[in-house]
Structure 1
Amino acid sequence: MTPYISKKMLMRRFARTLWSNNFKPGKRFMSSDPSKPAPDQNATEGVEPTQMLALDKDICLLVDEKDNMIGTATKRVCHSVGPDGHVPLHRAFSVFFFNNRGDMLLQRRASQKVTYPDYYTNACCSHPLYIDGEPEDIITAARRRMNHELGIPLDKMDPEMFTYLTRVHYHDPGDGVWGEHEIDHILFFQSDVKIKPNSDEISEYCFIPKSEFNAFIPTLEGPLTPWFNMIRRHRLKLWWDNLHRIRELAEPDKIQKFLSEK
Structure 2
Amino acid sequence: MPNLSISLNKSTTRKVSIHFIDHKSAWPTMTTLTIALRIRSLSCCCTHNQWSILNMMSTKSSNVRLDRYDQGQVELLNEKCILVDENDQVVGSESKKACHLMANINKGLLHRAFSVLIFNSNNEFLLTQRSDKKITFPGYYTNTCCSHPLYTPLEMEQADAIGVKRAAQRRLHLELGINPLEIPLSEMKFMTRFLYKAPSNDVWGEHEIDYAVIIHRDVTINPDPDEVKSYRFVGRSELLPFLDAESEKGSPTTPWFRIMLEKFFFNWWDNLDNLDQFVEPDKLYKL
Task: Specify which of 195, 198, 221 is matched with residue 221 of structure 2.
Answer: 195
Q: Does 1:205 align with 2:231?
A: yes
Matched-pair contact (CA < 8 Å) for 2:155–2:166: no
Q: Does 1:122 align with 2:105?
A: no
Task: Specify which of 229, 234, 238 is matched with residue 263 of structure 2.
Answer: 234
Residue 114 (structure 2) aligns with: 93
Matched-pair contact (CA < 8 Å) for 1:166–1:251: yes
| Residues 31-50 of structure 1 mapped to structure 2, 5 A cutoff | 31=28, 43-45=66-68, 47-50=69-72
1:216 deviates by 1.8
Matched-pair contact (CA < 8 Å) for 1:171–1:181: yes
Q: Deviations over 1:59-110 (max 9, x none)?
A: 0000011100001000001001118834510000000111111110111100
Aligned equivalents of 2:131 and 2:229: distance in 1?
Answer: 5
Residue 109 (structure 1) aligns with: 130
Aligned equivalents of 1:168 and 1:116: distance in 2?
Answer: 19
Larger radius of gyration: 2
Task: Specify which of 86, 94, 97 is matched with residue 73 of structure 1.
Answer: 94
Q: Measured at CA, do residues 172 and 216 of structure 1 come closer, stay the same or move farther in structure 2, by a change above 3 Å?
A: same
TM-score by length of 2: 0.72
For 1:44, the aligned partner's letter is D
How many residue pairs match? The answer is 219
Q: Measured at CA, do residues 73 and 156 of structure 1 come closer, stay the same or move farther in structure 2, by a change above 3 Å?
A: same
Q: What SS is found at the alignment partner of 1:244?
A: coil
Matched-pair contact (CA < 8 Å) for 1:81–1:177: yes
For 1:95, the aligned partner's letter is V
Aligned equivalents of 2:199 and 2:240: distance in 1?
Answer: 26
Matched-pair contact (CA < 8 Å) for 1:108–1:202: yes
Structure 2 gaps of 5+ residues are 1-26, 31-64, 158-162
- Looking at both structures, which has the greater relative contact order when contacts are Cα pairs under 8 Å and sequence separation is at least 6? 1
Structure 1 gaps of 5+ residues are 1-29, 34-41
Matched-pair contact (CA < 8 Å) for 1:95–1:123: yes
Q: Does 1:185 align with 2:211?
A: yes
Runs of 4+ in 1 over 3 A off after TM superposition: 30-33, 83-87
Task: Specify which of 248, 254, 260 is matched with residue 283 of structure 2.
Answer: 254
Matched-pair contact (CA < 8 Å) for 2:155–2:164: no
Q: What SS is found at the alignment partner of 2:237?
A: helix
Residue 195 (structure 2) aligns with: 169
Q: What SS is found at the alignment partner of 2:102?
A: coil
Residue 245 (structure 1) aligns with: 274
Percentage of identical aligned residues: 39
